[in-house]
Structure 1
């Protein structure tokens, strides 16, 4: 394990290693320390889209690339333009402050290369062409775009002229960035929960191309101010703000519950304290010193989803170093599949997927799929074999003409979509052409064919629905099947004299075709205990991929018919009709047993045992001392090199081996490095290798 030894502020960075030092719960952190020995973000470029980054900050200069600095406005060079613009430095330090340099702190991806795209956050919504240029810059120069900002006006609509340029730039970045793999774009969910904001009020926060990030406090609960919404994918650590209720008339009933008190809703709560602050870099000389004195280069009170977003960008950088071939959609899927539930007392939906820990995934409008887990995400990235990009994005869409009034305080208007095109859902987008003077009266509920019910928008803000068609989105159906009936229910719940009309509703499902991997994480034991049906893997695809690489305890996967398996110690039964063709396990001392069907058995880290049994197989070890076991004497086998691959061939079959240190035979164990693997033509029995 690599931990900084001389970064003096590292002990305050609970988001990297939470020991309870900030008063929170130990373990509520990014789980990144075990990643650092292998990956630090090296070779990955992260653009900070913000108020500029100082090129010469002593804790950033080693990772800054000045050629990746630009301004989205017609002035500046990507650095701050005033002495109050510290926000970009705050974000940059979270990502890539220099590790182990004797000053300051360590960034989450401290080996990544930093770029800066300056935005004048006071007027950015007036510059659609400038925002287009900003994301066009990402398409040409960056791997990741980290955005800790948001549009202040509600119902920010990519169909409006002011925002079309930004939408075009984002589309360019995901379609053409990273040589077609797509720029990974992370956006902050916002800090306006108490005001009633929702991520589905802005296309910047609900575009399916974007990873929307919420905040989690150091206790594991949702940060008190973090804006909710169905478009949130994951969350990351951040500062929490503690509030108390206001009771103006002293009757013991808080203003937030007493409708008759003449007090604005914004005065219903008063801030008491900020806890779990985020330590990072500040403008040089405008922050505090490492001892907390004024006039230093650091900020020990950063927070908001502005702090959470660069953490997700950093984890994405670690993932891209581990597997540079990931598409931007793969990054999003992996982040969700590996995220953790850190608050079991919260309200969660278990969606209709079947490939996560034996069943559906946990998700809600507060934190999406949960707290990002760097170690689990990187392990999945290492073993991920698909490549999902803009070019192979599959969609199914339909538009229903409604032409119906939405009665004031009346019955819901329900529209249904029958989808026959089969795909694995990643995102759902609903586009509404309607009018209503006050959306705070309305509920928008989407039900998938699997029965997942998602609240697309629930806000107390008295906003008129936009005049141009407006799109909302949901991440909640990740992994579900598209086919069947999708139902949207829109209801005016308040009889206040305000009615509306719905002209049309469009549904777009985005995703992929083919077979999804069956992913197991350290949460398998918990959810299997809740639902024992999760302990049986039945898949009729004929090409099942079992990926337990995020699991840190020892697993046993036995592909022989009727033999028991376990994931991290929790039983798993592989159904008789399930043909597993790839197995990946994690960091424990694992045992993998094949069945002669040519499966890939990849044991990951740890001291593992791999047994091909009969037939053909590919045996792949990883860091640690791995052993491949064969049933006969060593002299009964040929050791061959076929096209650069080492093959052990015997009467029971032939196995390709890679990353395996020891070979065990009947009566002997020999180091793989001590064997000579000869070209196939030197073996008189080479015809037996035709199927390898």
Structure 2
């Protein structure tokens, strides 16, 4: 993904603010604390400003490490955008939040947030699911008014339903305002990844079939076992977009989508359940063969 090349060119995510919408962030994790903005965090789930997760909830902390874990501190890992700023927005827990609360999360601190990273969505295999009216309006407002009119970037995990699901049925993923990311393993599609026209690209998401990713987790820990899914591919792309915005802050939300499309390559990927063809833009794209 040429991340090391971007680092060598001097890009580290400095000045880029990323809201992580998830089940919380351990804000004092020693590999994250230096990059977490605790003054502007939000816990929508519990109606306060402390995004630290409840006991047992580690997903958001794991996602955050892939984005912005500190470099060269000998703790756990390094994030793709290791000098970016994280804002925790806790929206996930044992019960669903409302449409208005989702909208609140997706517009939190819109005047300063550059990227909203989302590794959540409808339960796999449950049919068509659309965001509520207020959530749809929040996404449209974000790309219209975010980043001083250039548009906030909404990164979204495409889902882990493999061929039993199709991310075209996910209204968060198929929104024109979001950047949907699926997963690859080493040399082929990830066994859990979903195929749909809405997925702009894939990134490595870890896999039990080759190797898991390693990232931060709760109780100031570090975890590899089980770290696989589009939930982890998406924050890697969030970090890449942060490096891109640092390189050129004038890029709009549409520019980012175009850059992803025109710089992504198949690179010999062997797809185990799809066929490939050349589309009208002279780009290879995949479609389900059955």
Matched position secondary structure for 1:104: coil
Change (3 A) 1:365 1:306: farther
Q: 1:104 aligns with which of 68, 76, 79?
A: 76
Deviation at 1:127, TM superposition (A): 0.6
* 1:2-21 matched pairs, under 5 angstroms: none
CA contact (8 A) 1:224 1:241 kept: no
* 1:366-381 matched pairs, under 5 angstroms: none
Distance 2:82 2:5 in 1: 14
What whole-Å deviation, never above 9, does each CA across 1:351-384 have from its counterpart, x for those lacking one? 112xxxxxx1112248xxxxxxxxxxxxxxxxxx
**Unaligned runs of at least 5 residues, structure 2:** none
Cross-structure match for 1:113: 85
Does residue 197 of the first structure (1) align with residue 165 of the second (2)? Answer: yes
Does residue 181 of the first structure (1) align with residue 150 of the second (2)? Answer: yes
What whole-Å deviation, never above 9, does each CA across 1:402-460 have from its counterpart, x for those lacking one? xxxxxxxxxxxxxxxxxxxxxxxxxxxxxxxxxxxxxxxxxxxxxxxxxxxxx9xx8xx
Does residue 238 of the first structure (1) align with residue 163 of the second (2)? Answer: no
Larger Rg: 1
CA contact (8 A) 1:282 1:299 kept: yes
Distance 2:22 2:151 in 1: 21
Cross-structure match for 1:216: 184
Deviation at 1:139, TM superposition (A): 2.4
Distance 2:141 2:39 in 1: 21
Matched position secondary structure for 2:162: coil
Cross-structure match for 1:309: 234
Cross-structure match for 1:157: 130
Does residue 60 of the first structure (1) align with residue 71 of the second (2)? Answer: no
Cross-structure match for 2:264: 339
Change (3 A) 1:190 1:172: same
Deviation beyond 6 Å, 4+ runs, structure 1: none
What whole-Å deviation, never above 9, does each CA across 1:101-121 have from its counterpart, x for those lacking one? 122211011011111110124
Q: 2:107 aligns with which of 136, 140, 153?
A: 136
Distance 1:239 1:102 in 2: 22
Change (3 A) 1:316 1:326: same
Does residue 280 of the first structure (1) align with residue 211 of the second (2)? Answer: no
Distance 1:137 1:365 in 2: 36
Distance 1:101 1:136 in 2: 33
Change (3 A) 1:207 1:117: same
CA contact (8 A) 2:45 2:93 kept: no
Kindly indicate which of the two structures has a greater share of residues assigned to helix.
Answer: 2
Distance 1:42 1:78 in 2: 24
Distance 1:308 1:344 in 2: 16
Matched position secondary structure for 2:7: coil
Distance 1:336 1:105 in 2: 28
Deviation at 1:220, TM superposition (A): 2.1
What whole-Å deviation, never above 9, does each CA across 1:549-608 have from its counterpart, x for those lacking one? xxxxxxxxxxxxxxxxxxxxxxxxxxxxxxxxxxxxxxxxxxxxxxxxxxxxxxxxxxxx
Distance 2:159 2:64 in 1: 18
Matched position secondary structure for 2:195: coil
Distance 1:85 1:215 in 2: 23
Deviation at 1:78, TM superposition (A): 4.4
Cross-structure match for 2:6: 35
Q: 2:222 aligns with which of 298, 308, 318?
A: 298
What whole-Å deviation, never above 9, does each CA across 1:639-683 have from its counterpart, x for those lacking one? xxxxxxxxxxxxxxxxxxxxxxxxxxxxxxxxxxxxxxxxxxxxx
Kindly indicate which of the two structures has a greater share of residues assigned to strand.
Answer: 1
Per the normalisation by structure 2, the TM-score is 0.92
Matched position secondary structure for 1:348: strand
CA contact (8 A) 2:189 2:270 kept: no
Distance 1:78 1:315 in 2: 27
**Unaligned runs of at least 5 residues, structure 1:** 1-29, 243-274, 286-296, 354-359, 367-454, 459-692
CA contact (8 A) 1:139 1:172 kept: no
Distance 1:173 1:119 in 2: 18
Distance 2:201 2:43 in 1: 29
* 1:85-96 matched pairs, under 5 angstroms: 85-96=57-68
Matched position secondary structure for 1:165: helix
Cα RMSD for the two superposed structures = 1.8
Per the normalisation by structure 1, the TM-score is 0.40
Distance 2:80 2:189 in 1: 21
CA contact (8 A) 1:121 1:149 kept: no
Change (3 A) 1:199 1:179: same
